[in-house]
Amino acid sequence: MERDLTPDWILKQTLSVQQKALMDYVNEKTGGKDDGGLTLTMLGCGTLGSAILGGILDSLSSSQDQEADDSTPKKLPTRFHACVRSPKSGERIRKELGHYPAFKQVQVHEKNNVEPVRKADVVLLGCKPYMVADILKAEGMREALAGKLLISILAGVKEEQIQQHLSADCTVVRAMPNTAAAVRESMTVIATSNPPLPKDTENLVTWIFTRVGRVTYLPASNMDACTALCGSGPGFVALMAESLAMGAIAMGVPRDDAYLMAAQTMRGTTGLLLAGEHPAMLRDKVMTPGGCTIGGLLVLEEGAVRGTIAKAVREATVVASQLGQGQANVNGTRRT
């Protein structure tokens, strides 16, 4: 006993009590699972939210994606909460994402938003634009979001509209991905923040969206046009694919072959464009004098296809700008 009460022993005991208190504190903060990662809560996890969560889980489950470089955030999301309304949606998430090994770190919540947001370090807002006020005005939500990073993927809802429901220390970032996130081919535009985000926060936002495709940053004033080009773009491109296939079907090509050929032709063309080819140069290269391509292109010009598609993007930009303002009939026939 005498030996136990030496200064060395007392110091050791004190340090061990201190260490235990520190670990208890850390465990309480992290729900007992301090793996050094962040907690990401998907506040609304439908088509797009599930695609983004799927991309992250896929990346965390794959050893190939674990190589870090200067742009890798210091902490990655490793624990997840997915919030939906209906049990059916909860079941859909389990079915769609349950096969990823990292899914064991996902908790699905139905009609329970505040608690998962309270546990989060980062929240991704993925509900429909018209639901945002009700969700953010819920009792306790402002406090649960205080001091956190909130990433919104809502079409047409401006940062200020979201910020009005939150305390000033909540950082809001606007991002516009698209439906191709489901196949990791999204084009996501992120609005640059003013003042700029801390480098590690920007790295984290970039990391999240590069799990599902490409990312670029542009001023917030461009977001409605980006929503039209990138968010609505897959719809426009699908119509072009359908038109290409229908032309071939009309000339006797079997339906399934025609759709496959149209899709692969578009994929090949986009591959060339992404490799740096300018669209006008590419068009010129395949336009043999006296050939079939010039014949087809002139028909497209007669149909004002270029101006029409550009006009569709301009129209979708105007509609996007009105989506988040609660205006009724934004697609009404204003000019006819």
Ligand X SMILES: NC(=O)c1ccc[n+]([C@@H]2O[C@H](COP(=O)([O-])OP(=O)(O)OC[C@H]3O[C@@H](n4cnc5c(N)ncnc54)[C@H](OP(=O)(O)O)[C@@H]3O)[C@@H](O)[C@H]2O)c1
- In the complex, the residues that contact ligand X under the rule CB under 6 A are 44-49, 83-86, 89, 113, 126-129, 131, 135, 153-155, 176-179, 231
The closest alpha carbon to 248, from 261, 233, 235, belongs to 261
CB of 86 to ligand X, least distance (A): 4
- Closest to ligand X by CB, 186 or 193: 186
How far, in Å, are 66, 97, 201 from residue 61 at the CA level?
9, 12, 22
Question: Closest CB to ligand X among 124 and 170?
Answer: 124
- CB 42, min distance to ligand X, A: 8
Q: How far apart are CA 24 and CA 31, in angstroms?
A: 10
CA R_g for the chain: 25
Minimal CB distance residue for ligand X: 46
> Rounded CA gap, 189 and 152, in Å?
12
Write out the DSSP string of 116-154. Answer: HHHT-SEEEE-S-GGGHHHHHTSTTHHHHHTT-EEEE--
CB nearer to ligand X: give 161 or 179.
179
User: CB-wise, 88 or 335, nearer to ligand X?
Assistant: 88
* Residue number, 171 or 178, with CB nearest to ligand X: 178
Minimum gap (Å) between residue 231 Cβ and ligand X: 4
CA distances from 95 to 49, 80, 89, 128, 317 (A): 14, 16, 10, 22, 35
Q: In the 8-state DSSP scheme, what is residue 71?
A: T
Residue closer to ligand X (CB basis): 89 or 258: 89
| 141 and 135 Cβ atoms separated by less than 8 Å | yes
Q: How far is the CB of 217 from ligand X (least distance, A)?
A: 17
Q: Residue 180 or residue 258: which is nearer to ligand X going by CB? A: 180
- Inter-CA distances, 91 with 48, 88, 113, Å: 16, 5, 17
* Closest approach of ligand X to the CB of residue 25, in Å: 31
Find the shortest distance in angstroms from Cβ 173 to ligand X. 14
The DSSP element (H or E) to which 98 belongs, if any, is: none
CB of 196 to ligand X, least distance (A): 24
Residue showing tokens 């991704």: 124
Point out which residues pair with 215 in neighbouring strands. Answer: 188
End-to-end CA separation in angstroms for the chain: 97
The answer to whether residues 82 and 108 touch, using CB atoms and an 8 Å cutoff, is yes
Which residues fall within 8 angstroms of residue 298, CB to CB, at 6 or more apart?
Answer: none
When the beta carbons of 226 and 258 are compared against ligand X, the nearer one is 226
Distance in Å, CB of 90 to ligand X, minimum: 7
**Integer Cα distance of 310 and 274 in angstroms:** 20
